[in-house]
Each structure stands twice: as structure tokens, then as C-alpha cells.
Amino acid sequence: MAAPVKQNKLIRWIDHRLPVFTLMEHELNEYPTPKNLNYWWNFGSLAGIMLVIMIFTGVFLAMAYTPQKDLAFDSVERIMREVNYGWLMRYIHMNGASFFFIVTYIHIFRGLYYGSYKTPRELLWMLGVVILLLMMATAFMGYVLPWGQMSYWGATVITNLFSAVPVVGNAIVTWLWGGFVVDNPTLNRFFALHYLLPFVIVGVVMLHLAALHQHGSNNPLGIDRKGPQDSIPFHPYYTIKDLFGLGVFLLFYAAFVFFWPNLLGDPANYIPANPLQTPPEIVPEWYFLPFYAILRSVPNKLLGVVMMFGSIFILFLLPWLDTSRVRSATFRPIYKWFFFVLIVDCVALGIVGAHRPEGIWVVIGRIATAYYYFHFLLMMPFVGWFERPRPLPTSISSAVLKGGGRLAGAGATMEKP
Amino acid sequence: MRKLVLAVAGAAALGLGAAWAQEASQPLPDEHWSFDGIFGTYDRAELQRGFQVYTQVCAACHALEHLLYADLGGPNGLGYSEAEVKAIAAQAQVTDGPNDQGEMFQRPGRPSDPFARPFANDKAARAANNGALPPDLSLIVKAREGGPQYVYGVLTGYREPPPGVKMGQGMNYNLQFPGHQIAMPQPLRDDSVTYADGTKATLQQEAHDVVAFLTWASEPTMEPRKRTGVKVFLFLLVATVCAYVVKRRIWASVH
Ligand code: HEM
């Protein structure tokens, strides 16, 4: 391993004692990657970059923010008006949460389409679901910090869900709040946790990457690499591709930060929290709407809570719910269509979540919720079982030479499980 | 094709989610503002007129809690000089202290003071307004669906109640306000103010000016934000094109 960097004496000295340079060389530079990754594979690195951006801007916000109920709202306004570039930090952070979720959701659907959760990547996938849960907790608690009307009432509604737990429900809620209503102790602990959890996410991301590098990336064909002709080194091929993707992504992100910074937010959060006045409508941020829709579609409160959380926890079981041995949906003529219907279903749930549970919205919400569970619990095991997959190409290079996965090779072999 | 479907679904989820979360009950007016669009800026003359309307009319009931007099000057201000800002601040009487004798005292305002408030507390404000609380106006434009259009709609939306509509005690009929019954008496009419710059003070003009002022008040940093945004956007555009060209060249050898 003759890394060029090691010609420097100092670097050699350090590397001999602490092999960080060897590690970097191994994991970033030489790290062999399938040569046929498409642009959907950009979203993983984008999510990592978003995490860094959130931590960076968050730390600067925390320097000027006051987690006290009578001062929190004003301190955020002071950040906006008096702190140098405070408006920039806050708008990057505020819209960053939305873009972090956009990127992560796309990343997850990528995994769903190309079967990236299947053996040997089950733990990699499950660590990803853990990251999603941590992100949701972080974003929820962050939204409480500016202590606007939606912060306060959102916190009240969501924490109240735990009161549905039999017997100990109310005790749990009191414990979460640190009192008998959402109040100063709630704000204090949410700030402490909002500061902490992103660093926990960093830890889980490291495990996620360790698991990834064990077997390398999946790819659009979903077949294993058969030899060096199927791989290219990560650097420079994917570093430049990720960089280009980052540029395109930042163009969208910057447009929101600088030109429409409040479009994704709720105006009511610019009204200071008022425990005596319930806003006409309590709506969570857009990235929680599908889950909110599931919650409100179920007539029983406890069952609603269980189904809402279940909609994420079900992802942990995915590697075993999907009985097909073929990874990529490209070769699964039936599953493929169910995948697109699932996307429509999730979008529908999001729209339902933004509406009062009345009239037609209740009906759509119930159908969409039922369909969500149908997809994972029934469709996945059964389709995998009776579907006849199209023949797989013999190798990545053979498919690439023939112009992509659509032209499957003649001598098809099933991939090794 | 598949990619297109995915992209459209994603955009739809985002766009529809945001749009549908915010259904407005009443159609909004269609005013044009100097601060519209990504190159929009504040019109200083308009802001100064709006400030005059605020001071002479709205300030009797509404505070601007998040503003200091100093905000009126400087590059993101209304275009007043330092001396003018001092003079404006000095018109307010501010309670300060305690002094060396341990007593509070009154003094003229300074630029570093926050805007004077009309009422000592919310209770006093309600007592003077028939039980209704006039909200702080420094974020009102950001705090309402429809922003400047909505506030303009409220200020110009006063009408005689249609026959058969029962009005609550001390309530006024307003087309824009949700429920149409608002506790604020009509604040603006033709010639409510006499503009220092000689502009004709119609209701529409006054409403337009004060809404522009309130939009500035809700975000004095809008101009540097958009200006920075244009530069950042152009930089990213060039960088992204370069990255694309390099990417094509690096990947040219991969089959
Ligand atoms: C996973 C990463 C993170 C996510 C998803 C996230 C999300 C959020 C959200 C949604 C808000 C509310 C923004 C608003 O409406 O004003 C917020 C506020 C805040 N966050 Fe974070 N955050 C993250 C990381 C961090 C970190 C690492 C810190 C501190 C070290 C931090 C500090 C703050 C502070 C001080 C606020 C209040 C100021 C404000 O509301 O703008 N955040 N966060």
C-alpha cells in the first residue's frame, strides 16, 4: 500500500503510531465501489453533509439562544436581527431540517427500490432506521425551541400521545414534561436533548458506514461484484460525482434559504407561545405529516399511536418481510409497480395529514394507512414468493457494456443469497 | 420515465404538503410590492411614510417590541441619518434608573432604546380596547398566512355589516379577517395622516405604506439576505457547472 501521502516524513511518523492516514487511504481513496451507481446513490453523502451543516449552524445558534420560556422566542428574534449573520445561521438550520428529511427520505426509497436492505446489508439498513428515528426526535425537539405557538402546541399534542399507554400513560407524560403542563422544564430538557442527539446520530452514522464498508455499496443491478472489472476506486470517480450532486442540491437548498426561507414553515410559529390560546389548527412540520395522518386515521387513540410508531418500526423487519432473493426492483416486474404505488400512498398520507380529519380526508386517510401496512405485511412476503423475476445479468460489466440493466444477459444466474 | 415519476412524486409531496397546510379562507388582495421577488428591495420613501402612519395611528394601540430606534438608521434602516434617528428617539419618554438615590426617573429616549410601548402590560391594553388585545406588530407580517397581502386586506377590508349579520358588542365587520368580526375599529381612512412628503393620503396609499413598513419591521435583514442569495446562487451555479465538466472528463474512461 504505497500511498503517495506517506512520502511526507511527519505523516509517516504519525501513521506509524496512529494509522489514520492508512485508514483514510483505505476507506476513501481506494475503497472499491461498483462502477454503475446512478445518481440516486448521491443522497447518502448528501445526508452526511446535511448532518454536518446542522451541527455547525446549531452550535452557533446555541451561542445566542436562551432556553427559558420567557426569553426563548425573543432570543431567536435577536438572532435574526442583531447577531451578525444570525439570520443566515437560523434560516440555514431551519430549512436544513426540511432538506435533511428530503434527502433522507429519498435515500430510504432508493434502498427500498434497489433492495439495499437484503442480505448481507440487514444491519446497515437497520442502523439507517435508527438514524431516522433519532433524526425525528431531534427535529421534533428543535421545533419546540423557538417557543412559538406551533412549538408549544405541537409539543403538547405529541407528548400527550404517550398518555394512551395503559395504566402508566399519564405518569409518563408528567415525567416527559417535568411538570403537569408543557412548561419551562420541558423547554430546558428539550434543548439539552436537542444538543445531544445529533452527536448520537454522528455515532450511529459511523456504525452505518462501518457496516457499509464491510460489503460495499449495493448497485442498481442488485448483483454482487464479481471482480475488479466491476469496481472503480471511490476517489476520484465518486468524489467528483458526489461533488456535482452536492452542487445541484445546494442550488435548491440555497434558493429556499435566501429567497423563500419561511415557505416550508408555519406562520403561527412567529406568534409567541400562549398556553391559554389554542391555535385553530395544530399541524406538524411537513416531514411528519404522513405519520400524523396515520395517527389521526385510527379511531382508537392507543392503536393510533401504535400504528404511527409501527409504520417506522416495520422497516426494521423489512429484510425478512421481503421474501424475494432478487435485490433490484429493475428485475421484479410486479414488485416494481407496488413500489410506485407506495410512493403515491405516502404522498397521499402527507396531504391527508395537512387537513382536518373530516369528510373525505378521513376516508382517504384510512385507506392509505391500511394500504401502507398491506404493502409491507402482505404484499412483500407474497409477491416475493410467486413473482417470476426477469433474468439477471451475469455481471455488472457485462450489463454496463450492453447499456444498463434493462438488457439482461442471456445466461442468467440467480445471485448468491 | 421512472425517474420522472419519482421526481414528480417528491415535488408533489413537498409542494402539496406545504400549500395544503395553509388554505386561506378569504381570497387575498393582489397588491404589488417593491420587495417582491428575489431582487426586491424596500422603497425608503414608502417605508418612511409607513413609519409615519404607524407612529401617528397604530402606535396608540400596537407595540413594536422587537425594534430599537437605532434600527431606523444604518444600511438596513429606513434611510434616516444618525441625527434624525436621535431626534426621533428623543421624542419618546423612557423610564430609567434607579439613580444614585434609588429612584426611577424619566429621560428622553436614545437610539439604543426599544420602541416605546403604548401600554404598560397586556391587561392595560385589554382594558383600553374593550377586552381585545392589540397584538405586537413587529412580526405580524410573518405571523399571518398571506403576509403583506393579508395585512393590507385587513386594513382596507372594513365594510358596513351585511343586513342580517349579528355583530358582537364592539366588533367591526371586516372582509379579510377570519370570521369577519374584528375588535379593532377601522384604523385608516382617507387623510388619516398628512404625509410629510406631500403624497396624497388615500386609504389605499396609507395601507400600502404601513404594510411595507411592517414588512420591513418583521425582517430588516431581508435586503442583505436576498443580495447574498443572488451571489451565493451564481457562485454555486458556476461551481456546479465546473464540477459537471470535470465529472464528465474523469468518467470518460469508465466503461
Ligand atoms: C440532526 C440535526 C438537527 C436537526 C434535524 C435540527 C432541527 C431543528 C429544528 C427543526 C429547529 C427549529 C427551527 C425553527 O423553526 O426556528 C431547530 C432549532 C434549533 N437548533 Fe437544531 N437541529 C439539529 C442539530 C442541532 C445541533 C447540533 C444544535 C446545537 C449544537 C442545534 C441547536 C438548535 C438551536 C439553538 C435551535 C433554536 C434556534 C431556532 O429555532 O432557530 N441543532 N433545530
Ligand 1 binding residues, C-beta < 6 A: A 51, 54-55, 58-59, 61-62, 65, 76, 90, 93-94, 97, 100, 135, 138-139, 142-143, 145-146, 194-195, 198, 201, 265
State residue A5's pLDDT score.
56
Task: Determine whether A15 is an active site residue.
Answer: no
**pLDDT for B41 beyond 70:** yes
Q: A390-395: long-range contacts (C-beta < 8 A, 24 or more apart)? A: A390/A330, A390/A331, A390/A332, A390/A333, A391/A331, A392/A221, A392/A222, A392/A223, A392/A326, A392/A331, A393/A221, A393/A223, A394/A226, A395/A223, A395/A225, A395/A226, A395/A227, A395/A229, A395/A230
Instruction: Please answer whether residues A251 and A148 qualify as being in contact, where contact means their C-beta atoms are separated by less than 8 angstroms.
Output: no
d(CA A326, CA A328): 6
Q: What is the DSSP letter of B35?
A: T
The residue-averaged pLDDT of A211-230 equals 94
Residue window 97-136, chain A: list those with CB within 8 Å of chain B. Answer: 102, 105-106, 109
Cell representation of residue A10: 511527519
Contact list in B for residue A91 (CB cut-off 8 A) is 225
Q: What is the CATH number of domain B23-67+115-248?
A: 1.10.760.10
Q: Average pLDDT in the B127-138 region?
A: 95
Catalytic residue (one of A25, A242, A266, A387): A242
Backbone angles phi, psi at B158, to 5 degrees: -75, 135
- For ligand 1, the distance from its centroid to the CA atom of residue A97, given in whole angstroms, is 8
Per DSSP, the three-state class of B44 is: helix
In this prediction, residue A409 carries a pLDDT of: 38
Do the Cβ atoms of A101 and A135 come closer than 8 Å? yes
**Amino acid A396: pLDDT:** 93
- Buried-exposed string A379-416: b where 16+ CB fall within 10 A, e elsewhere: bbeebbeebebeebbbbbbbbbeeeebeebbeeeeebe
Give the residue with greater pLDDT, A226 vs B203.
B203
| A242 carries an active-site annotation | yes
More confident residue, B200 or A30: B200
DSSP for residue B94: E
Cβ pair A232:B254 closer than 8 A: yes
Q: Where are the alpha helices (DSSP H) in A146-233?
A: 149-160, 169-177, 184-215
- % chain B with pLDDT above 90: 87
Q: Is the peptide bond before A236 cis (omega within 30 degrees of 0)?
A: yes
Predicted local distance difference test score (pLDDT) of residue A400: 64
pLDDT tier at A402 (50, 70, 90 boundaries)? Answer: low
Q: What pLDDT is attached to residue A227?
A: 87
C-alpha cell at A395: 455481471
Quick: pLDDT tens for A121-146.
999 999 999 999 999 999 999 999 99
Which among A267, A286, A397 has CB closest to B144? A267
How many whole angstroms separate alpha carbon B226 and alpha carbon A270?
A: 21
Cα A182 to Cα A400: distance, rounded to the nearest angstrom? 57
Give the nearest partner residue to B243 out of A244, A289, A353, using CB atoms. A244
- Computed over its alpha carbons, how large is the radius of gyration of chain B? 24
Mean pLDDT, chain A, integer: 93
Confidence of residue A399 (pLDDT cuts 50, 70, 90): confident
Ligand 1 centroid distance, CA of A367 (Å):
34
Nearest to A38 by CA among A407, A400, A417, A409: A400
Is residue A107 flagged as an active site residue?
no
Best residue for ligand 1 mutational test, from A93, A101, A256 (most atoms within 8 Å of Cβ):
A93
Strands A231-233 vs A32-34: parallel, antiparallel or unpaired: antiparallel
Please choose, from the candidates B221, B90, B209, the residue with its C-alpha nearest in 3D space to the C-alpha of residue A86: B221
Q: Under a CB-based contact definition with an 8 Å cutoff, are residues B166 and B173 in contact?
A: no
C-alpha cell at A242: 458526489
Q: Name which of A204-213, A229-238, B6-15 the model is least confident about.
A: B6-15
pLDDT of residue B10: 53
CA distance B139 to B109: 23
Closest CA to B47 of B182, B208, B243: B208
* C-alpha torsion A75→A81→A85→A90, nearest 10: 50
Q: Map residue B61 onto helix, strand or coil.
A: coil
3-class SS of residue A67: coil
Q: What is the pLDDT of residues A306-344, one digit of tens each?
A: 999 999 999 999 999 999 999 999 999 999 999 999 999
Please work out, in degrees rounded to the nearest 5, the angle formed at the alpha carbon of residue B82 by the alpha carbons of B78 and B84. 70
pLDDT value of residue B25: 65
Reading the block at residue A389, the C-alpha cell is: 423475476
Q: pLDDT-derived band of residue A401, with 50, 70 and 90 as boundaries?
A: low
Helices (H), B113-193: 122-128, 147-155
Contact yes or no for B207/B153 (Cβ under 8 A): no
- What is the domain partition of chain B in residue ranges? 23-67+115-248
Confidence at residue A404, expressed as pLDDT on a 0 to 100 scale: 45
CA atoms within 13 A on the CB side of B86: 3
Backbone angles phi, psi at B93, to 5 degrees: -100, 125
Question: Predicted ipTM?
Answer: 0.90
Cα Rg, chain A, nearest whole Å: 24
**Given an 8 Å threshold on Cβ–Cβ distance, is B221 in contact with A266?**
no
How many percent of chain A have pLDDT more than 70?
A: 94
A70-84, A223-237, A295-309: which range is least confident on average? Answer: A223-237
pLDDT band at A413 (very low <50, low <70, confident <90, very high): very low
Of B62, B1, B37, nearest to B217 by C-alpha is B62
On the question of pLDDT at B133 being above 70, the answer is yes
pLDDT of residue A16: 93
User: Ligand 1 center to residue B39 CA distance, Å?
Assistant: 29
Give the confidence band of B7 by pLDDT, cuts at 50, 70, 90.
low
* Cis geometry, peptide bond prior to residue B98 (ω within 30 degrees of 0): yes
pLDDT category at A251 given cuts 50, 70, 90 is very high
Query: What per-residue confidence (pLDDT) applies to A411?
Result: 36
| Distance between CA atoms of residues A126 and B179, nearest Å | 50
Burial class (CB in 10 A: 0-12, 13-18, 19+), A166: exposed
Set of cell numbers at residue B255: 466503461
Per-residue confidence at B127, pLDDT binned at 50, 70, 90? very high
User: A267 at the B interface (CB within 8 A)?
Assistant: yes
Lookup: cell for A20:
489514520
Could you confirm whether A241 is annotated as catalytic?
yes
Instruction: Give the phi and the psi of residue B105 in degrees, each rounded to 5.
Output: -145, 165
- Confidence (pLDDT) at A20: 92
Query: A-B interface: how many C-beta pairs under 8 angstroms?
Result: 130
A218 membership: H or E segment, kind and range: none
